[in-house]
């Protein structure tokens, strides 16, 4: 097969254009991520591959219930977690139940009830509080040394789609987080 100069140049331009387009998409719009570990079971499993939307959070902050990829305090790592609270909200875990702003949150997506309590805290401005769905096997915002409150600039993006393995492919939607008051008895002392 013989190439003349203009034909070779067309091939090079086509390949270069394709590479630049792919780089633009990977840097600014979408990225793939492989799930590592068991912290997001029963919703995400080891080895699944996700498509992560990197553009949404340039226009709005993460919302509770969304699954995100974050950079923890060790910059060489990335974790997949669920946003459970955002700036200004208060959070507490009591008797295995998550409370946000005083309401006990119904979390049908978690693996099992939490074994440990977490003290009342207010989520600082410009951060989110994330947890794995497998709460008792997750390194997340409860671990201040390794993750803690996640600055918004350390949220890589929102997981939107499982694309591998093909038989598990699906769109990831954030559940509506609903809370209820759980008080059997309230006393007011004068």
Q: Which pLDDT tens digits describe the chain residue by residue (190 residues)?
A: 555 668 777 777 777 777 766 666 665 567 889 999 999 999 999 999 999 999 999 999 999 999 999 999 988 899 999 999 999 999 999 999 999 998 999 888 898 889 999 999 999 999 999 999 999 999 999 999 999 999 999 999 999 999 999 899 898 988 877 777 665 544 445 4
Which of 6, 14, 18, 39 is labelled catalytic? Answer: 39
Q: Do 105 and 99 form a contact (C-beta atoms < 8 A)?
A: yes
- How high is the pLDDT of residue 12? 77
Query: What order do you get walking across the sheet with 103-106 strand by strand?
Result: 118-122, 90-94, 97-100, 103-106, 178-180
- How high is the pLDDT of residue 21? 67
Domain boundaries, the chain: 28-175
Q: Give the CATH H-level superfamily of domain 28-175.
A: Umud Fragment, subunit A (2.10.109.10)
Active site residue 6: no
Which of 54, 81, 138, 141 is labelled catalytic? Answer: 81
- How high is the pLDDT of residue 185? 45
Whole-prediction pTM: 0.81
The 3-state secondary structure of 85-98 reads EECCCEEEEECCEE
- How high is the pLDDT of residue 123? 97
Strand, helix or coil for residue 146: coil
Active site residue 63: no
How far is the C-alpha of 10 from the C-alpha of 5, rounded, in Å? 9
Per the listing, tokens 């003349």 go with 4
- How high is the pLDDT of residue 6? 80
Q: Which helix (H) or strand (E) holds 42?
A: none
């Amino acid at each position: 097969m013989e190439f003349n100069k203009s034909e070779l140049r067309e091939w090079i331009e086509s390949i270069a254009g394709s590479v630049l387009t792919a780089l633009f998409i990977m840097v600014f719009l979408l990225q793939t991520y492989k799930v590592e570990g068991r912290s997001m079971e029963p919703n995400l499993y080891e080895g699944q591959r996700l498509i992560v939307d990197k553009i949404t959070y340039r226009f709005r902050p993460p919302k509770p219930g969304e699954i995100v990829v974050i950079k923890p305090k060790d910059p060489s790592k990335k974790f997949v977690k669920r946003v459970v609270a955002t700036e200004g909200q208060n959070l507490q875990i009591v008797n295995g139940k998550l409370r946000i702003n005083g309401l006990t949150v119904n979390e049908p997506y978690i693996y099992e009830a939490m074994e440990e309590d977490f003290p009342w805290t207010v989520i600082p401005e410009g951060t989110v509080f994330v947890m794995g769905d497998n709460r008792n096997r997750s390194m997340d915002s409860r671990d201040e040394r390794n993750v803690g409150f996640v600055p918004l600039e350390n949220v890589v993006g929102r997981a939107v789609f499982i694309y591998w393995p093909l038989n598990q492919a699906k769109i990831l939607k954030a559940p509506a987080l609903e809370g209820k008051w759980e008080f059997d008895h309230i006393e007011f002392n004068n």
